[in-house]
Chains A and B, each alone.
Chain A
Amino acid sequence: MSLTEFLIEVAGNYVATIGFGILLNIPRRALNFAGWIGVLGYFVYKFIVIWGGGYVVGNMMGAVVIGVASLQAARIKKMPMILFNIPALVPLVPGGQAYQMIKYFALGENSTAFVFLIQVVMISGAIAFGFLLSELVNRVQQRVWRHRR
């Protein structure tokens, strides 16, 4: 990945996350943080895929990082966590695969469509599981935090 591509992807993810945040009407104060969390989550996914971790693990780790970072942002800004993790999730959505699946089903090429269907199911499952893990990390962290005080 060249530097130009990297910068284009950073800018693209940041702008797209903020745009989705505006469509959901999240408060102005939360927009910047949400944008950076979106970039962070996407790049965790991207680098795991580049280093050969596979797209399922990549999406899962991306979702974990988004979940953990959102809780930190929620603490710093004293705002609900969903303001950060919902827009940040958008770059991980398997839009491309879902579209290919629909397209091949519509064209009647069912065997190709099933390949994409399985990918969509795997990625959605990985993201859901990633959120589960991040919740686990957050709860453990909260316990430790409370215990220490």
Chain B
Amino acid sequence: MSSQKKRDQLILHTALTAGRIMIENGSEVERVEDTMERIAHNAGAKTSQLFVMITGILMAINGEVGAQIEPVKRRTFDLEKISVVNDLSRQFAAHKITLQEFANRLDHLDKSTKYFPFWLQLLSAAMVSGPLEVVFRHNLPDFWITCVVGALGWLVFYLLNKFIQIRFLSEFAAAATIGVLAIWSVHLGLGNSVDDIIIGSVMPLVPGVPITNSVRDILAGNLVSGPARGVEALVSAAAIGFGIAMVLQFL
């Protein structure tokens, strides 16, 4: 009885940790439910009951008394972790790793963050801004200055996000910085069109993950999490818009 209970505890811990990691890093709710159900099923639980929301997860197995709660406190975008949880779940289903190993690896994954190196992120922010400015506006001469402004704007976003950890404020400040730099560079004669430089440079700040997940969650019938993500996307977009609008007022 006791060992059965320990096993159940481990199943709950593994499934809940996997679910929390996925939501924290920007997965849609349906995938989380699916993965957690699979983990419980593959670990030998007869039934599992789940309630997954964007701010917390509830789970019980085998219809026993004692469901467990896992709050989700922070939200970042790190799609690699979702992919790793997915891989681990597949390996567990194929009996390549045991439940205990699975749990240990999840705990390890939760602690470690393996981002791309900082210079590469900065470079890719430049590589989002410049090319998209050319694609949208066909303004080749402003390519380089858009790359630079976009990278600097993203740098402001990155640093503020690291130290004050309020995503919307960082986006606002980054957008305002982009506006100022764009106007300034045109004054100095480095660029031709303020509009084109700003349009390209704000592209790295676009809230792509909440937009996509919001649509997918609503379609899957998660009428709480979907609109919540939608609000997240909307507030991000509004923060960027206000940042730009504030600078344009002083044009």
Residues of chain A having any CB pair with chain B under 8 Å: 5, 8-9, 11-13, 15-16, 18-20, 22-27, 30, 42, 78-80, 82-83, 85-87, 89-91, 93, 95-96, 98-100, 102-103, 105-107, 128, 131-132, 135
Contact, CB under 8 Å: A99 / B131? no
Is B65 among interface residues, defined by CB-CB distance under 8 A? no
Residue of B77, B120, B127, B237 contacting most chain A CB atoms (<10 Å): B127
A-B pairs with lowest CB-CB distance, top 10: A12-B131, A19-B124, A19-B127, A22-B124, A19-B128, A106-B245, A106-B248, A12-B135, A16-B131, A26-B79
7 CB-based A-B contacts, threshold 8 Å? A16-B203, A25-B78, A80-B82, A82-B79, A82-B209, A86-B208, A93-B208
Interface of A is mostly: helix
A81 to B115, CA, bound (A): 20
Is B107 among interface residues, defined by CB-CB distance under 8 A? no
Contact, CB under 8 Å: A18 / B199? no
Q: What distance in Å separates the Cβ of B183 from its nearest Cβ neighbour in chain A?
A: 12
- Tell me the count of chain B residues lying within 8 A, CB to CB, of chain A: 52
A99 to B219, CA, bound (A): 29
Residue of A whose beta carbon sits closest to that of B28: A82
| Listed stretches B8-16, B40-48, B166-174, B210-218; interface member | B210-218
Contact, CB under 8 Å: A15 / B212? no
Is B21 among interface residues, defined by CB-CB distance under 8 A? no
A106 to B124, CA, bound (A): 30
Contact, CB under 8 Å: A89 / B211? yes
Interface string of B71-115 (1 = CB under 8 A from A): 000000111101100100010000000000000000000000001
B202 is contacted by which of A8, A13, A18, A95 (Cβ under 8 Å)? A95
**A-B CB contacts (within 8 Å), total count:** 148
Residues of chain B having any CB pair with chain A under 8 Å: 26-28, 31, 77-80, 82-83, 86, 90, 115-116, 120-121, 123-128, 131-132, 134-138, 140, 154, 195, 198-199, 202-204, 206, 208-209, 211-213, 215-216, 219, 237, 241, 244-245, 248-249
A77 to B199, CA, bound (A): 34
Q: What distance in Å separates the Cβ of A107 from its nearest Cβ neighbour in chain B?
A: 7
A24 is contacted by which of B195, B199, B202, B208 (Cβ under 8 Å)? B208
Q: What distance in Å separates the Cβ of A55 from its nearest Cβ neighbour in chain B?
A: 13
Residue of A whose beta carbon sits closest to that of B202: A95
